[in-house]
């Protein structure tokens, strides 16, 4: 299948090009359970790829692009993917391609709307940088963020660098995403995941990570397409398999809560989509828990996280006002023995108690 690249950095080439979506990446290799850290390339060769999905974002594009193009670190490629927008987003991206040679505009075949997972995957396939950062178009990157992240990643040879962000908007007072203290020393990904679960601070936000590109290739990470909450499994496995994980408690990103986002949309269409996606997410987390080597403590904590995500299905189901959609969820729960499987996953008394309440309520309402 071919994908049209709408003027890949037009200052380098005046012609549009075709890139084959399924062309193999020569730097992509499969690793076993954990992914190894590579030697650090010379600083002057370090290209940073920034992947920005765009969907009906005409109100945000200029501010986002200015914030990224005006960063003090200049050796970047800014890959903006138009996910089938029906507003002026495509035209605005074309203007930025003409304005700055580092901007690359992509779209899906036939300008289809494929969702954020497929859009990020497309951007990642075309990324050429030593490091990759996923940025949401309606958020803000603070000045100097890229140079700071690159310095940390390079000097400490990190597979993954996590950092702090400030959340605001939608009537919420500004607050840091990470509230609890974290160690400043290098960790393994497993140690980070264990700490995050113990602290109950597990924000599944892909823009909170700065990745070594070779690490992503070695781990063969892909966003699961066709669902929402696609970043839960990505963040979990991407953190877990890192041999060098670094956290810096510096706010480098402004997360602007969008009242129109699917996670805040209480319509029946949004609720059913989220609930059905969580069935898939639970299976993804269960598969990661079985496949990736980890300590017994980490495995137990991740199983509790898995059960927690599964219990969200019940919360979403309760908010459905469409009886046919609610029955669809009920039928899937029964068909897959969903609660019983989660009961087997649960190792902690708190989770078992929560599941028992849900199972009893379902039994009484038969």
3-state secondary structure 115-165: CHHHHHHHHHHHCCCCEEEECCCCCEECCCHHHHHHHHHHHCCCCEEEEEE
How does pLDDT run across 215-242, given as a tens digit for each residue? 999 999 999 999 999 999 999 999 999 9
| Boundary residue ending a domain (214, 241, 262) | 262
| 39 shares its domain with 160 | yes
For residues 110 and 95, give the distance between their C-alpha atoms in angstroms, rounded to a whole number: 20
Residue 169 forms beta bridges with which residues? Answer: 172
What is the predicted pLDDT for the residue at 261?
65
* Mean pLDDT score across all residues of the chain: 88
Give percent of the chain with pLDDT exceeding 90: 82
What are the φ/ψ torsions at residue 138 (nearest 5 degrees)?
-95, 10
| 240 shares its domain with 275 | no
| 57 shares its domain with 96 | yes
Location of structure tokens 């039928």: 331
Nearest to 124 by CA among 68, 60, 51: 51
What is the predicted pLDDT for the residue at 170?
73
* Domain count for the chain: 2
Q: Decide: 81 and 50 in contact? Cβ < 8 Å.
A: no
Structure tokens at 35: 């992914």
| 74 shares its domain with 220 | yes
For residues 329 and 275, give the distance between their C-alpha atoms in angstroms, rounded to a whole number: 8
Nearest to 131 by CA among 236, 222, 215: 215
| 205 shares its domain with 110 | yes
Nearest to 107 by CA among 21, 224, 225: 21
Q: Which structural domain range is residue 34 located in? A: 2-262
| Boundary residue ending a domain (262, 284, 318) | 262
The confidence band for 171, taking pLDDT boundaries of 50, 70 and 90, is confident
| 175 shares its domain with 239 | yes
How does pLDDT run across 241-270, given as a tens digit for each residue? 999 999 999 999 999 987 666 566 889 999
| 278 shares its domain with 207 | no
Instruction: Give the global pTM.
Output: 0.86
């Amino acid at each position: 299948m071919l994908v049209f690249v709408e003027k890949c950095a037009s200052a380098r080439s005046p012609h549009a090009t075709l890139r084959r979506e399924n062309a193999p990446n020569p730097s992509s290799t499969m690793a076993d359970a954990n992914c190894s850290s590579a030697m650090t390339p010379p600083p002057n060769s370090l290209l940073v790829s920034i992947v920005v999905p765009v969907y009906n974002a005409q109100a945000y594009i200029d501010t986002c692009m200015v914030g990224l193009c005006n960063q003090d670190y200049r050796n970047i490629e800014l890959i903006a993917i138009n996910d089938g927008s029906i507003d002026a987003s495509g035209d605005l991206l074309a203007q930025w391609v003409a304005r700055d040679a580092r901007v690359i505009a992509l779209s899906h075949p036939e300008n289809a709307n494929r969702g954020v997972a497929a859009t990020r995957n497309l951007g990642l396939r075309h990324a050429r940088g030593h490091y990759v950062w996923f940025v949401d178009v309606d958020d803000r990157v603070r000045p100097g963020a890229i140079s700071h992240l690159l310095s940390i990643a390079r000097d400490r040879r990190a597979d993954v660098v996590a950092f702090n962000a400030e959340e605001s908007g939608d009537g919420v007072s500004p607050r840091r995403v990470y509230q609890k203290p974290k160690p400043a020393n290098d960790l393994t990904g497993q140690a980070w995941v264990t700490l995050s679960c113990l602290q109950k601070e597990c924000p599944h936000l892909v823009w909170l990570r700065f990745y070594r590109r070779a690490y992503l290739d070695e781990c063969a990470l892909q966003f699961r397409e066709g669902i929402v909450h696609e970043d839960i499994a990505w963040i979990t496995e991407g953190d877990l398999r890192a041999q060098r994980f670094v956290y810096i408690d510096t706010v480098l990103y402004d997360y602007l809560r969008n009242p129109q986002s699917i996670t805040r949309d209480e319509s029946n269409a949004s609720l059913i989509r989220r609930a059905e996606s969580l069935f898939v997410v639970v299976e993804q987390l269960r598969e990661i828990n079985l496949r990736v080597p980890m300590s017994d403590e980490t495995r137990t904590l991740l199983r509790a996280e898995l059960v927690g995500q599964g219990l969200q299905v019940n919360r979403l189901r309760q908010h459905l006002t469409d009886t046919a959609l609610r029955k669809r969820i009920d039928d899937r729960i029964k068909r897959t023995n969903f609660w019983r499987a989660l009961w087997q996953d649960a190792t902690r008394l708190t989770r078992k108690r929560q599941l028992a309440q849900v199972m009893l309520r379902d039994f009484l309402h038969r």
